[in-house]
Amino acid sequence: LVLFDGKDLSKWKNDKGVDAKWRVEEGAAIVNGTGSILTREEFGDCQLHVEWATPAEVKGEGQGRGNSGVYLQGRYEVQVLDSYNNKTYFHGQAGGVYKQYAPLVNACRKPGAWQTYDIVYHAPRFDADGKVTQRATVTVLHNGVLIQDHVEILGATNPAGSPKYSAHPLKQPLLLQDHGNPVRYRNIWIRPL
């Protein structure tokens, strides 16, 4: 299922449920300070392909440099960041499961270059009482290089506190984060598993 083909964001909405306001230009959706965007359709277990590029002109350092994120089910983040010659905390690098797992290797290309994530994700499962019975798992290839190898996500990737699970439906939207940097996205597709 193609989620973004470079033409429009009709399959996306903002966090208020109205049309996504990111700029679409030269086949890319560009983060522009109007807030994160979510898919109109909801997903659970999936294979996801996302292409992204941080700004070619380097501004800032650490987490202030090309920061965005791919949030599976709107709550489990695979970090998007310009990690090319950019020091930051180990589990905040590009391809990290945010604040949980560092990537196995830094596979980042130079700022401005297009990069790919190929993600295989299995959603968590909960019992009738809302207790997690199976943690979410994720495998990530960054530019064709394995950087997350079927890791168990410890819970929602919330920077304000410890990761924890809260019961939620099996299917939820995919979210692309607006972190205030003009990161570009293109060629996004998903295959439910």
How do residues 76-90 score in pLDDT, each as one tens digit? Answer: 999 999 887 778 877
pLDDT in tens, 135-183: 999 999 999 999 999 999 999 987 667 889 999 999 999 999 999 899 9
The pLDDT assigned to 57 comes to 82
Distance CA 78, CA 95 (A): 6
Q: Which regions of the chain does DSSP assign to beta strands (E)? A: 2-4, 12-14, 23-25, 28-30, 37-39, 46-53, 68-72, 76-80, 115-122, 125-126, 132-134, 137-142, 145-152, 175-176, 184-192
Residue with tokens 């277990």: 45
Q: Which of 68-77, 85-94, 150-159, 183-192 is predicted with the least confidence, judged by mean pLDDT?
A: 85-94
Find the angle CA(59)-CA(65)-CA(71) to the nearest 5 degrees.
150
The closest of 78, 105, 104 to 92, measured between CA atoms, is: 78
Report, as an integer, the average pLDDT of 62-80: 90
Q: Is 90 helix (H, G, I), strand (E, B) or coil?
A: helix
Nearest Cα residue to 6 out of 46, 51, 66, 71: 51
User: How does pLDDT run across 31-59, given as a tens digit for each residue?
Assistant: 999 999 999 999 999 999 999 999 988 77
Can you give the pLDDT at residue 24?
98
pLDDT tens digits, residue range 111-126? 999 999 999 999 999 9
Say which DSSP state 49 is in. Answer: E
CA gap 33, 30 in Å, rounded: 9
pLDDT band at 65 (very low <50, low <70, confident <90, very high): confident
